Structure 1
Amino acid sequence: MPRQRWTANDVPSQHGRVAVITGANTGVGFETAKALAVRGAAVVLAVRDVDKGRQAAAQITDAANGADVTVLRLDLASLASVRAAAEELRTTHPRIDLLINNAGVMYTPQLTTDDGFELQFGTNHLGHFALTGLLLDTILRAPRSRVVTVSSAGHRQGGPMDLDDLNWTTRSYGRVAAYAHSKLANLMFTYELQRRLSGRNDTMAVAAHPGGSDTGGSRTSVSLQPAIFRAAFAVVRPMLLQPAEMGALPTLRAATDPSVAGGQYYGPEGFMESKGHPKVVRSSPQSYDVATQRRLWSISEDLTGVRFPA
């Protein structure tokens, strides 16, 4: 008997649930938000560009007649913006069932956030770390709530993370390595958060990655490569990339499948986890290093000034 493949049709009813999704105005985040809204969730699009967020919200409400979709300004590269967004959410939503940490930047030049952190690490990890910590008591109020953080198969590319030089001040900057380290941090954060949640209630932390999704981020990464690479990639693109709707499935499964366990990591089932239906996958050996997870957590608390509820 053929193995059943999980699809968006397997998302259970989300009526009565509140889902906050960062970076939900485009790509995988948009498809995640749309699927949840179609299933009845009240969806908050937490985005940097409010105008683009409103356009995305209009598209979602067209697809899901009567959907409850709101837009919230959130710039993860600014801790002041993170705090303001969290305060607004705490005021307007007494409980949050799903927090999906999806937004991110990829392969940027060596730039810094408003608070002076390396841009990719500061946005992809520290911004989401702070947002989760500021909202966790609201998330804990909801039964069967989840924090889903979107990583990347590229977390394996950067080599060992240097916790003593997260801002790349003493090393030559590598945009690919810096991105990989930020995505590795997403996984370490998920695993340590799940350990801290274990035994307290039914809230869980789960991770996912979209594989090779044909989105703006993937097109930007290809555009940075030499011409010969771009030409070769154009030939194999259909074999390595999948539509954003498919790329959203690992996140959707991590967020909604009743069989999910805390601390799991979901990605595509296909070759090199590049495309296909979602399943439980393994991350790099370094991501499971408990001592490094705990040290990263402590550093993240110090850098953001955010302490999670005891």
Structure 2
Amino acid sequence: MARTIVITGGTNGIGKALARHYTELGDQVVAVGSSEEGGRRLREEVPNAQFVRADLSSLRQTRDLIERLSTEHPVIDALVLAAFRFNAVRVETDEGFEHTFALYVINRWLMAEGLRDPLEKAPIPVIINLCGAGQGGKIQWNDLQLKDKYRGLTATMQGAAASELLGMAYSSERTKYVLYNPVFVATGLHEPFKQPLRGLVQVASAVFAQPVAKAVPPLAALIDHPPAKPLTTWKKGKPIDLAVDRNEARRFEETIRTVTQSALP
């Protein structure tokens, strides 16, 4: 039976590679991306995938996306959270959130919670959160929006730590939650930077980064055969142990819930 796979960030990098993999198997893939140009390229390269355009850094557009997906796809077998953009300088969304926090943290929490019902109706549901789990990121509790001394790496590492906490806080008897760190994959990481740093990152990517095609098989294995445990963490295809404070996870989820409710009356 054909499955339904929803992939945020599905028009580029690992997301697009997964979309290609599963459409070739005959599954229904919904690839969410922020630009019509990305959707055009997806339609050319992966014609059987369904493209849905949405600005995932927008809470309102994310809410509308969840409503649409829930209506059009009452059963979702896998939700892959892969949307990410590195911001070298601080960018604020129209709703007043630091962009990395909105895209990498709030959106992933909203998608997992908002699609809970269609996931629970699937035979073996799974959430795959592509993130920097296990890299030692920290939550900047006193400045979650990083208004003081913004650094792109700090924002990214906070997002990785947030994924760990939200994975721990996610509660389901059926849907498995997988934190997956692909490490260094050739997915256009150099693009947000200015020269000469852009050139250096591009060279490093060409020399050291893992090809996207090699990142797909271990991810596909976790989608096809989700782990038995409610939450597992993987780094480049291998399971790792991750110590996450459950109380801190509850505190962080409650913080995100409060922030979201105030922004989405």
Question: TM-score under structure 2 normalisation?
Answer: 0.88
Alpha-carbon offset, residue 40 of structure 1? 2.0
User: Aligned pair count?
Assistant: 262
2:233 aligned residue: 265
Q: Distance in 1 between matches of 2:162 and 2:177?
A: 14
Q: Deviations over 1:114-167 (max 9, x none)?
A: 2211111111110121122221112111121111111026842x5x31223201
1:213–1:242 Cα contact (<8 Å) kept: yes
AA partner of residue 140 (structure 1): E
Alignment of 1:1-310 (within 5 A): 15-61=1-47, 67=48, 69-152=49-132, 155-156=135-136, 158=137, 160-169=138-147, 171-193=148-170, 196-197=171-172, 200=173, 202-217=174-189, 219-220=190-191, 230=200, 234=203, 237-238=206-207, 240-259=208-227, 261-268=229-236, 278-283=237-242, 285=243, 288-305=244-261
RMSD: 2.5
Alpha-carbon offset, residue 59 of structure 1? 1.2
AA partner of residue 29 (structure 2): V
Q: Which stretches of structure 1, 4 residues or more, deviate above 4 A after TM superposition? A: 221-227
1:189–1:297 Cα contact (<8 Å) kept: yes
1:152–1:209 Cα contact (<8 Å) kept: yes
Alpha-carbon offset, residue 57 of structure 1? 3.0
AA partner of residue 230 (structure 1): L
Q: Distance in 1 between matches of 2:140 and 2:33?
A: 30
Alpha-carbon offset, residue 260 of structure 1? 5.4
Q: Distance in 2 between matches of 1:114 and 1:130?
A: 18
AA partner of residue 32 (structure 1): L
Percent of residue pairs identical: 23
2:124–2:226 Cα contact (<8 Å) kept: no
* Secondary structure of residue in 1 paired with 2:115: helix
2:76–2:125 Cα contact (<8 Å) kept: yes
Q: Judging changes above 3 Å, is the alpha-carbon distance between structure 1 residues 300 and 281 closer, same or farther for their aligned structure 2 residues? A: same
Q: Deviations over 1:264-308 (max 9, x none)?
A: 11222xxxxxxxxx221244x4xx1212111110011111129xx
Q: Deviations over 1:248-271 (max 9, x none)?
A: 344323322355533111222xxx
AA partner of residue 81 (structure 1): Q
Alpha-carbon offset, residue 226 of structure 1? 5.0
**5+ residue gaps in structure 2?**
none
Q: Distance in 2 between matches of 1:74 and 1:168?
A: 25
Q: Distance in 1 between matches of 2:164 and 2:92?
A: 22
Q: Distance in 1 between matches of 2:152 and 2:2?
A: 41
Q: Judging changes above 3 Å, is the alpha-carbon distance between structure 1 residues 279 and 123 closer, same or farther for their aligned structure 2 residues? A: same
**5+ residue gaps in structure 1?**
1-14, 62-66, 269-277
